[in-house]
């Protein structure tokens, strides 16, 4: 079951693995006990380790604990519309030993957003995710929405954004999610988005600057700047400046800037070590799409670091994140060569679900 997989129940340690005929259960108040179906008995101690355990944290968002007519505790997963007698928190048990608290939670390259957010309740939090109609932006927005946050999908294409909202509501009809227009290639659109958001009179706890252009032909925006530079960096830079006062009033708040490991393979300084502005928004003759992308990602990191330095004293932190070696997304749609390369590499890279950005957004 998917619910058990993202809770980690299919990954057991040899020490904690139950002998045949045994089942792990929980009481209503969270204590773990063990049922032996062969001998028809129950006990508090693990049959192999002799340890007593209890579950840690709250139920995942969308889950509810109920009791059947026989007094047996069972769990309802409202998101996936199923019931089970297995507590989804069993992957996160702790020993009943206050001197040696040991959680079994693990994060690695296959960790999903649902695992990272296990037990988190973002009710009352407002999250804005740019470029959230597809890819890791969508998965990030969905994960926050399924855990109670009010999520705003800030997208250029409103038709696709509305479809994304509908997909989230299909999974959880009570999700608080909406779409707003934001075209980072047009600074006027960035300003209009900020004005419309402020008109809602809501706080802003998490701003995920995720939208990006990659492998596109050289072009200038209506503002006269090279497209990759404006979409990936300058548009987000302007957006944060316009929403800075809201972020500070909402503290603790956080800005997540999606960068890339590829920022290491470029430079924005001239031969004298001074910033070369012509490299940020190059002319057509000096343009190479991959290099332009790398430079924009370097700008992301420099911006995030300086933003954190300035705003962290006011309760607003900023983190630049590399989402991992995930390649299979729509970001490479600009050129068929990149699409081919990314498709060939797909079996060796992270999935979209395991590449969400929520880890960097937790308080």
If you search the block for the tokens 């932190």, which residue do you land on?
317
DSSP 180: E
Distance CA 45, CA 41 (A): 12
Q: The tokens of 106 are what?
A: 């693990």
Q: What are phi and psi of 102, to 5 degrees?
A: -135, 100
Cβ atoms < 10 Å from Cβ of 116 = 20
Q: The tokens of 174 are what?
A: 């009570």
Q: The tokens of 128 are what?
A: 């804005």
Q: Note the residue count of the chain.
A: 363
Helix (H) or strand (E) holding 239: helix 235-249
Cis previous bond, 339, omega within 30: no
Distance CA 357, CA 141 (A): 9
Distance CA 207, CA 360 (A): 11
**Looking at the annotation, which residues are catalytic?**
293
- Separation of first and last alpha carbons in the chain: 29
């Amino acid at each position: 079951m998917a619910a058990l997989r993202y809770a980690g129940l299919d990954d057991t340690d040899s020490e904690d693995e139950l002998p045949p005929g045994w089942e792990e259960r929980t009481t209503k108040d969270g204590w773990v006990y063990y049922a032996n179906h062969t001998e028809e008995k129950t006990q508090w101690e693990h049959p192999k380790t002799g340890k007593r355990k209890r579950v840690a944290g709250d139920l995942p968002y969308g889950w509810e604990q109920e009791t059947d007519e026989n007094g047996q505790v069972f769990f309802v997963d409202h998101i996936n519309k199923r019931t089970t007698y297995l507590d989804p928190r069993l992957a996160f048990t702790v020993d009943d030993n206050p001197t040696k608290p040991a959680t079994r939670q693990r994060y690695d390259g296959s960790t999903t957003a649902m695992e990272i957010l296990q037990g988190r309740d973002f009710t009352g939090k407002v999250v804005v995710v740019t470029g959230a109609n597809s890819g890791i932006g969508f998965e990030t927005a969905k994960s926050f929405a399924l855990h109670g946050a009010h999520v705003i999908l800030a997208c250029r294409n409103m038709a696709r954004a509305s479809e994304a909202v509908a997909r989230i509501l299909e999974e959880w009809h009570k999700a608080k999610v909406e779409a707003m227009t934001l075209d980072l290639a047009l600074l006027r659109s960035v300003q209009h988005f900020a004005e419309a958001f402020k008109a809602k009179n809501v706080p802003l706890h998490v701003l995920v600057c995720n939208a990006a252009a990659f492998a596109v032909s050289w072009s200038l925006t209506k503002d006269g700047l090279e497209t990759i530079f404006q979409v990936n960096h300058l548009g987000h830079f302007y957006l944060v400046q316009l929403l800075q006062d809201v972020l500070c009033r909402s503290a603790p708040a956080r800005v997540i800037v999606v960068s890339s490991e590829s920022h290491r393979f470029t430079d924005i300084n001239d031969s004298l070590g001074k910033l070369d502005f012509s490299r940020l928004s190059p002319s057509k003759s000096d343009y190479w799409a991959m290099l332009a992308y790398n430079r924009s990602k370097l700008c992301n990191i420099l911006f995030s670091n300086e933003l954190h330095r300035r705003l962290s004293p006011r309760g607003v932190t900023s983190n630049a994140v590399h989402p991992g070696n995930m390649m299979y997304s729509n970001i490479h749609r600009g050129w068929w060569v990149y699409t081919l390369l990314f498709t060939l590499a797909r079996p060796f890279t992270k999935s979209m679900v395991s590449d969400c950005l929520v880890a960097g957004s937790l308080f």
